[in-house]
Structure 1
Amino acid sequence: MSRYKIVTHYDPKSPIAEAYRSLRTNIQFSNFDKKLQSIVVTSAGPGEGKSTTAVNLAVSMAQDNKAVLLIDCDFRKPQMHKYFAISNRVGITNIIAEGIDKDLAASTISEFKLDVLSSGPIPPNPSELLGSNRMKEFIHSMENIYDMVIIDAPPVGVVTDASIISTYAGGVILVCGSGQAHIDAVQYSKELIEKVGGNILGVVLNKIPMNEGSYYKYNYQSYYGDAK
């Protein structure tokens, strides 16, 4: 289990954990007119911390007494099973492609008080599966059961998967690695999501270097606002 990455649980008093709680609060107040029940977490490119952000956001929301389902829809490089040390032999792909029951695929992580649905076997056609009516209907059905459904998706600037999911999820969070994400790539990712009608909630600026004695003493600093 990636204890050092789940700081909201194992190091709850740290500045990093507080940054995730601030992100949680900002999300709760992001949509006044419509209740937000599902969020896609993606990034412009690989290695920017989207999966770690998705996990800590899910744990933080569960700590706020919300019923949370975390789904690994990164069929290119699934990670959720590694964070929680669970099996990846059965997951969301089995539910959509084979029709198995969600309760047979999801894992209830009692330590974190949330449910996790790993990817399952990697499908040969990830984009087609994610864009299927079965997938849309499943996400919407989970919104009726859980207070929040958090979906970890592949980088939107690399494959179309995150853009597809954003068409039926409530909102999108774009994770950008400080000193890693290129402005053009972030702008392009934003445009890809907007072109399909995705609702960009904001940006998480991740991996800001620690600078002792300054405001930026966080390893992770969350900034929540529209990507420009």
Structure 2
Amino acid sequence: MYNKREEIYNDVDLVTINSPHSIISEEFRTLRTNIQFSMFDRSFKTILITSSVSSEGKSTIAANLAVIFSTQGKKVLLVDADLRRPSLHRKFGLPNNRGLTSFLIGSEPSLSLILDKPYKENLHVLTSGLVPPNPSELLASQRMTDFIETTKEHFDIIIFDAPPVIAVTDAQILASKIDGTVFVVRNGLAERHKLIKAKEQLKKVNANVIGTVFNEKKKIKSNDYGYYRTNE
């Protein structure tokens, strides 16, 4: 049972690991359920997490969503596909000298890098690897498509943390290859016209946007958890 007290979370980061019984962790369980219901009649394994602009909390959403899926007993792979401003290695305290780019440029030909070293039970984390000079080209490559298809053979759920939509074309490229896209919006940050533009850009590549996460929320009861926000 939760103790009713006012708390503030300015950066929940890995709250689903550090505080698995918190109200915020329960919010992530609700998000997991909503995603599952939105695609219950379709076969899906890959989920893309993106936003319109930076600092909306997409990376923290992706990280905690991956943890929550893994607690169901599903074998989960979390991939940092933000090859411009990667952050998942810092959240999980992992080295980033090898990662997704290692597969895409061919320096790491097998999946042993991720298959042999789970972060925790049922959860594998693949960092971005070294930041390349040509992220868009790598993500659009056949090697990226092959990587996605190969990981589907080994994992139940693969979650990709992608760059914001408006800044670069990376998210659009990935969304065209992924089963479902979750769009993160932080209240009061992105201007309305940018949100509309981002949704239009995803629509152009036939992205399957399965839902939107509003990432800043005030609780009504003052004696409950008062407020939370997440940061990239």
**TM-score between both structures, scaled by the size of structure 1:** 0.89
**Hey, what does 2:55 align to over in structure 1?**
47
1:108 aligns with 2:118: yes
Q: Is 2:31 the counterpart of 1:23?
A: yes
> 1:77-106 CA distances to partner (integer Å, 9 max, x unpaired)?
001111111110000101111251221256
Identity in percent: 40
Matches of 1:217 and 1:205, distance apart in 2: 16
Structure 2 residue aligned with 1:60, among 44, 68, 82? 68
Superposition pairs for residues 6-155 of structure 1, below 5 Å?
6-100=14-108, 101-104=110-113, 107-110=117-120, 113-155=122-164
- The CA distance in 2 between the partners of 1:162 and 1:98, in whole Å, is 22
Change (3 A) 1:37 1:208: same
2:94 is paired with a residue whose SS is coil
Deviates more, 1:23-32 or 1:164-173: 23-32
Equivalent residue for 1:203?
212
> Structure 1: where are the runs of 5+ without partners?
222-228
Tell me, yes or no, if the aligned pair for 2:12 and 2:60 is still in contact at 8 Å.
no
Amino acid at match of 1:28: Q
Contact 1:19 1:220 in 2 (8 A): no
- Aligned mates of 2:196, 2:225 — CA distance in 1: 24
**Superposition misfits of 4+ residues, deviation over 6 angstroms:** none
Matched, 1:173 2:172: no
Q: 1:44 to 1:12 in 2, by over 3 A?
A: same
Q: Alpha-carbon deviation of 1:45? A: 0.4
The letter of the residue matching 1:207 is E
Structure 1 residue 63: deviation in Å? 0.7
Cα drift, residue 194 of structure 1: 0.9
Partner letter of residue 188 of structure 1?
K
Deviating more after overlay: 6-15 vs 146-155: 6-15
Shift of 1:210: 5.5
Report the number of matched residues.
Answer: 218
Q: Spell out, residue by residue over 1:107-129, the C-alpha distance to the aligned partner (whole angstroms, 9 max, x if none).
A: 4112x540000000111110010
| Larger CA Rg, structure 1 vs 2 | 2
Cα deviation digits, residues 146-185 of structure 1 (max 9, x gap): 1100000000111110100001100101101111122211
Residue of structure 1 in register with 2:195 after alignment: 186
- 3-state SS, counterpart of residue 27 of structure 1: helix
Whole-angstrom distance in 1 between the partners of 2:55 and 2:220: 22
Across the aligned residues of Structure 1 and Structure 2, the Cα RMSD in angstroms comes to 2.0
Preserved contact between residue 140 and residue 174 of structure 2 (Cα < 8 Å): yes
Please name the residue that 1:162 is paired with: 171
Most deviating of 48-57 and 14-23: 14-23
TM-score (norm 2): 0.88
Which shows bigger deviation, 205-214 or 169-178?
205-214
Q: 1:171 touches 1:198 (CA, 8 Å); kept in 2?
A: yes
